[in-house]
Structure 1
Amino acid sequence: MNKGVLLDLTHSLSEAIKATEIEIQNCYSYHDEQVEIKPYVWKNLDEKIDYMLNVYRPLVSTNLLAAINNHKQVSREISRQVFQEDEDTCTAYEKMLVEHKTLYVQLQSFIAKISGVEAI
């Protein structure tokens, strides 16, 4: 297994976590206090997730694969709710932050396991 792919996905996920936290903070800040995020963060994460699912599927544990698939489905559902059901964007960011962090922990655990590290 190419650990670089896992590390790239983990890095993209950590950037998405940071960007999501900033967006949540921006929801509760005045316009002139808002922090600009890197606009490519979520697209990059989506590309890494798709690459993992399409190329590395046979090499990844079923638990991690299920977590990645779940993350992708929840992300789509949250986006749908925002754009079609007018869900509050702050609520959507808060939901996605939970999903990002959950997948991040599972990725770290999988990387530690295949690397022979006892615990993180």
Structure 2
Amino acid sequence: MSQIDVATKSPIRQRTQGLRSRIEAFVRTFEWTWTSAVLFSMALLFFLLISAVVMPSFWMYYAEQKIGWAGPTDLQAFLEKPFGTSITNPLSLEGYKQVRDAIAMGLTTG
């Protein structure tokens, strides 16, 4: 590599060149054995379980206990009075419960 090539490359690209070559070499030589496939599938299952069960459950706990968006959702009450009383409180309490439930469903369904 000449001095001109080194001067024209960005410092970030120069730093990541070694890491990139190591990763490319690993990907080229990687083979799926039954043990690596089982370990990968167990890690994937654990990740899916955490993201589908624990995150929505934690969100519902956090929204009810810490933020105060507790109670069942009443759609009719939300439609009668959807907005809050001030600029700092843009939604009614029922509106916040709707947002809470929408976030929980989004986390559950992905």
TM score, norm. by length of structure 1? 0.28
Which has the larger Rg? 2
TM score, norm. by length of structure 2? 0.30
Which structure has more helix as a fraction of its residues?
1
- Structure number with the bigger relative contact order (C-alpha 8 A, sep ≥ 6) is 1
